[in-house]
Amino acid sequence: MHKQYFPQRCCMFLVGIFTMTLGIALSCKADLGTSPISSVPWVMSMFMPWSIGEITIVMNLLFIIAQPILLRQIYWRELLGQLITLIAFGYCIDFSMSLLDWVAPDTLFWQ
């Protein structure tokens, strides 16, 4: 990996995460359905005191914990990278939801 491109890659990574989470927040706010991976945290956030981002972190953390069990080998660098990405992803979902707090589409056209 070229170290000279590392800052640009980090910025592009953060832009990609933000774009994905903004799409998740828009689909949740529009009440038109969510992706299968986001539907569990979305429904659980409706009746639990945790936010959708926090539940996403917990759910995906369980997936990360299950990886070494299924693979029968531990890849520490990959697990650490997934953990950092997961935390950024979960809190970015909450940030995107707060950015779109004013969105309340009431007709099918606006949804």
> pLDDT digit of tens for each residue in the chain (111 aa)?
567 888 898 899 999 999 999 988 888 888 777 888 888 888 898 899 999 999 999 999 999 999 989 988 888 888 898 999 999 999 999 999 888 887 777 766 665
53: which 2 tokens?
Answer: 């981002």
Q: Is residue 8 part of a domain?
A: yes
Q: Is residue 68 part of a domain?
A: yes
Residue with tokens 């890659």, as numbered in its chain: 9
- For residue 26, give its domain range: 3-99
Q: How many domains does one find in the chain? A: 1
111: which 2 tokens?
Answer: 């949804």
pLDDT of residue 6: 85
Q: Is residue 105 part of a domain?
A: no
Q: Residue 61: exposed, middle, or buried by beta-carbon count in 10 A (0-12, 13-18, 19+)?
A: middle
Q: Is residue 9 part of a domain?
A: yes
Q: Is residue 104 part of a domain?
A: no
